[in-house]
A and B are shown apart, each in its own frame.
Chain A
Amino acid sequence: MLNLSINGQSRLTDSPPDTPLLWVLREELRLTGTRYGCGLGLCGSCTVHINGQAVRSCQLKVGDVGAAAITTIEGLDPANAHPVQKAWIEIQVPKCGYCQSGQIMQAAALLSQNPSPTEAQIVEGMNGNLCRCATYPRIVGAVKRAAQMMKENQNP
């Protein structure tokens, strides 16, 4: 039995330690906001935060997580109040929405490490996340907007 720290809560799993974290989150703990897209770390749909870093949960074995803090889209802010979520809604980014949890988690991690990214840094930082609806231009716009909101929050 493994004890995971997910969204600030302790959650137990009896999945075998070699199970990808993605499937433990989605199918066992039913945090279905984390999406399966490719299983090889190629699309970014399953992105979560491990100690604040964006990680492809399909590539991380649950037995390797240890005591690290896992944040899923459900833990970012259920009320959509995180600046990235607010910007995503303001700019109306999602279409089918399937990849967007991963996009948002990637963007949130990017901004926590680099609060003022250039456009080129945003493109580079988001390039690993596929979107078949091609919401790409709005993603770049929303990351910029979120950066601006985060600054405004710091200097009211």
Chain B
Amino acid sequence: MSNTSRRDFLIRSTTLAGGAFLSIGLPPSLTGSEAQAAIGATPAYTPSIWFTITPDGVTTMHIVKAEMGQHIGTALAQVIAEELEVPWDKVRLDMPLESAENFGIYGLAYTVNSGSVTTEFDRVARAGALGRVALIEAGCKMLGAKLADCQASQGRVHDKASGRSVGYGEILQKVKLDKKFSYPDDFRKVKLKDRSQYKVIGKSVPALDIPGKTNGQAKYGMDVFLPGMAYGALAIPRSRYGAKVLSVDDSEAKKIPGYLKAVKIDDSMGKCTGWVVALAESFPAAMKAAKALKITSDPGPYGKLSLQDIMEEFSEKSKHPEESAAWVLEGDVDAALPAADKQLEAEYTSDMICHSFMEPINCVVQHASDDSWHVHIGTQGASFLRMTLTAYLSKILNKKAEDVKVYVHQYLVGGGFGGKQDYDESLAAAYCVKELGRPVKLITTREAYFSTAFPRTPTLHRMKAGIKDGGLSAMNHDIVCGWMGPRFAVGKQFNNGTDWLQLDSVDGKKQDIDQWSIGGSDHWYHVPNHRVQAWNSDRTTWAVQASALRTVSNSYNMFVVESFMDEIAHAAGRDPVEFRLSVLNGKGGNRGIPNTGYPAGTPSDYYMDQLWISLPWPSPGSWPGYESGTVGGALRLANCLRVAAGKAGWGVKRLPPNTAMGVALSSAEERQSPTWVAGVAEVTVDPATGRYKINKLTIAMDMGIAVNPDNVRAQIMGSALWGASQVMYERLTYKNGAIEQTNFHEYTPIRQVDVPAFDIELIESGRHPVGVGEPASTVVAPAVANAIFNAVGARVRHMPITPQAVLEAMKNRKA
């Protein structure tokens, strides 16, 4: 936690060589001038937090969130521009340097969980509003006007009485602004615009990062060149995790022109196990050399493990409820199930998948002459990368951590999806730099990427339900998988030894439980007797390096919960839409939490507050008028369902043979940070082959406020197609400790030919804006599964759904 003096904010103008500037944030002495000096950059203004206005009237927004396709910079800039009253055509973006110094200012540079708009909207709006207040006061003085007569619009302060006005740039040139605002008191007090006055928020302005992406000028980490730089290519490790390199013979590699050396990466931090990097003067030479190396390795503790072993272990674990940890405990499931009129049981499984972003993992690392270390990379977790690399360098250089200076230079991210928050590549590159004494650009080939991917865990689910008087009386959800939380070093390593990724179970056993692997099962349906219990396969976690993948556990849990909800509806003889609406009644906690932020008590309320601990800011829940995204709860989900079902023509549209609709809902990501979404899939199945085609997806989403509606639609389409891809095609297999797929002929994401028609409805309820980049992905798989059942009677309880599985399920269907 930063000290109190760092919580004071200044609005000040200072004259530099480039002219005056105004910044809201910390005094420039604290904003990383050391960092600038360290990298030998020109002594220009170092961006402070949030934004800078220059006398030419340009406002540059400083975006600490990673730009990876969600156009987050544009969205946050819209919020600031709205309150600051600057003209949109004079808005620019930049990405601040991540460093120990800047960490105390910006907080955690970490872009995950569809959380950026949710967590930043209110704060940056207030920063913009404070800027406007200061400029109006200064402009008013210049105009000799009364404050009550002055207002700001389009980058100018206008005096209503005289009709005169002055531009922000001119104010900065002539007035020395030195107004000090306290944090958080002034931030709390500043008056925000009424939403009816919004001019930029809610407008589909073009994304500021797009023009560079259509003419080749956009810069990703891989596009960095440093003087004297060598290239590194990773040799495919013997197993995914735990291999030990015994020997490296580079006699063949030495024949390759440009080959420099082979480096066995120090894996003493438990990262980069079994890694050998071939270094050369060019990347093609490095790739050739990596292939030519003769490496012998001990495959390690998981060297004989296969996916089948993992699934067998899951099955065995699930037979021991005494070893489980409870996540949801409401009513008495054990009493309610036998008391039901009808009981239902089903087993679901899901395969491993991986992010396989188009930009393979890469980075450029430099050890500067002043002994500082620089990583050039597009990453989702610049702060954790710096912390991890600092710890690693401290270890391998035998230095105190405080004597190791690491700076992370952030670039565009060529697809993240949760998969660019592990930092092995920067550790390996830094180790190569240490061994070679030159900057190194490390690029994983696609094959090296797949061999070292961080997949979503495989899962096993045992579902039980009780139907009484035609309604849902009980539900039990057992989940066995590899928990990702314990593997992420960020918890125990950087939070005073406590692992905030692990929560306590709710069964009084005080067991650790990993919300990232279980979330989504705590759905918003009213079930009087509801239990979710979970088992961790620690071996799986480490063996496959289980990780967070777009919507994290929602991506499998919603497939299971929503498929099973349809099974229950059918067993109860009820329409799946009508049945869901009947249990989306907002009873009890399912109405959501009102305006009080995030009260402690339930496990899933824990996350956001804990994440905020790492920041020098109080939780936004402490702002007056701040509204939790959960407000309305199940009733908002029900509303989405009505809209989607209605638009799709549920129950009324005339459909061709072997064609049906399926429905599914989701409140991804966490229960405490939901985005309400309903999806209807229209699917045609070929009963002869089991092949199926998604004809149309109808999606209704309540995101509160759509900051940029056109982009919200783009995000919904893209994430829905991600869901289609994972249900139709994506599957990693694991054998002898290694991932078997190597490239896009074996791992086959969705392409143009499978794209369905779309009907997307944005429900702008006016509630606090929440993330839109991921949640729609979770409704597609179950909606497709339910449509396949409705079309041909085949219930497939495994994801992905292959044509063979459809045929098999058709054989097993009840007559």
Q: Which residues of A are interface residues toward B (Cβ below 8 A)?
A: 15-16, 19-20, 23, 27-28, 30-40, 42-43, 45, 72-74, 76-80, 85, 88-89, 92-101, 104, 123-124, 126-140
Closest to A62 in B: B284
Q: Are A39 and B446 in contact (CB under 8 A)?
A: yes
- Is chain B's binding surface mostly helix, strand, loop or mixed? loop
Digitize B691-724: 1 where CB-to-A-CB distance is under 8 Å, 0 elsewhere. Answer: 0000000000000000000110011011101100
Which of A33, A37, A95, A104 sits near B217, CB closer than 8 Å? A33
Known: A95-B69, A98-B414. Contact between A126 and B752, CB under 8 A? yes
Residue pairs across A and B with Cβ atoms less than 8 A apart, 12 shown, are: A28-B282, A33-B218, A35-B359, A39-B446, A39-B447, A73-B215, A78-B215, A98-B358, A104-B214, A123-B755, A132-B415, A136-B721
What residues on B are CB-neighbors of A30 within 8 Å? 225
Q: Are A133 and B415 in contact (CB under 8 A)?
A: yes
What residues on B are CB-neighbors of A100 within 8 Å? 213-214
Closest to A31 in B: B216
Q: Are A34 and B206 in contact (CB under 8 A)?
A: no
Which of B284, B414, B725 sits near A97, CB closer than 8 Å? B414
Q: Which residues of B are interface residues toward A (Cβ below 8 A)?
A: 68-71, 206-207, 209-220, 222-223, 225, 231, 257, 282-284, 355-360, 412-417, 443, 445-447, 710-711, 714-715, 717-719, 721-722, 725, 743-745, 749-753, 755, 758
Q: Are B282 and A37 in contact (CB under 8 A)?
A: no
- Is chain A's binding surface mostly helix, strand, loop or mixed? loop
Q: Are A98 and B752 in contact (CB under 8 A)?
A: no
Q: Are A42 and B214 in contact (CB under 8 A)?
A: no
Q: Are A92 and B358 in contact (CB under 8 A)?
A: no
Choose among B257, B413, B414 the residue with the greatest number of A CB atoms under 10 Å from its CB. B414
Which of B220, B714, B744, B753 sits near A95, CB closer than 8 Å? B714
Q: Are A139 and B752 in contact (CB under 8 A)?
A: yes
Choose among B70, B282, B718 the residue with the greatest number of A CB atoms under 10 Å from its CB. B718
Which of B222, B415, B752, B758 sits near A127, CB closer than 8 Å? B752
What residues on B are CB-neighbors of A76 within 8 Å? 215
Q: Are B284 and A23 in contact (CB under 8 A)?
A: yes
What residues on A are CB-neighbors of B358 within 8 Å? 35, 37, 43, 45, 96, 98-99, 130-132
Which of B214, B359, B758 sits near A85, CB closer than 8 Å? B214
Closest to B257 in A: A16
Q: Are A89 and B744 in contact (CB under 8 A)?
A: no
What residues on B are CB-neighbors of A95 within 8 Å? 69-71, 714-715, 718
What residues on B are CB-neighbors of A136 within 8 Å? 721, 750-752, 755
Q: Are B360 and A36 in contact (CB under 8 A)?
A: yes
Which of B212, B415, B725, B758 sits near A96, CB closer than 8 Å? B415
Q: Are A96 and B359 in contact (CB under 8 A)?
A: yes
Q: Are A92 and B710 in contact (CB under 8 A)?
A: yes
Task: Give Cα A20–Cα B210 distance, bound, in whole angstroms.
Answer: 28
Task: Give Cα A139–Cα B214 distance, bound, in whole angstroms.
Answer: 12
What residues on B are CB-neighbors of A72 within 8 Å? 216
What residues on A are CB-neighbors of B715 within 8 Å? 95
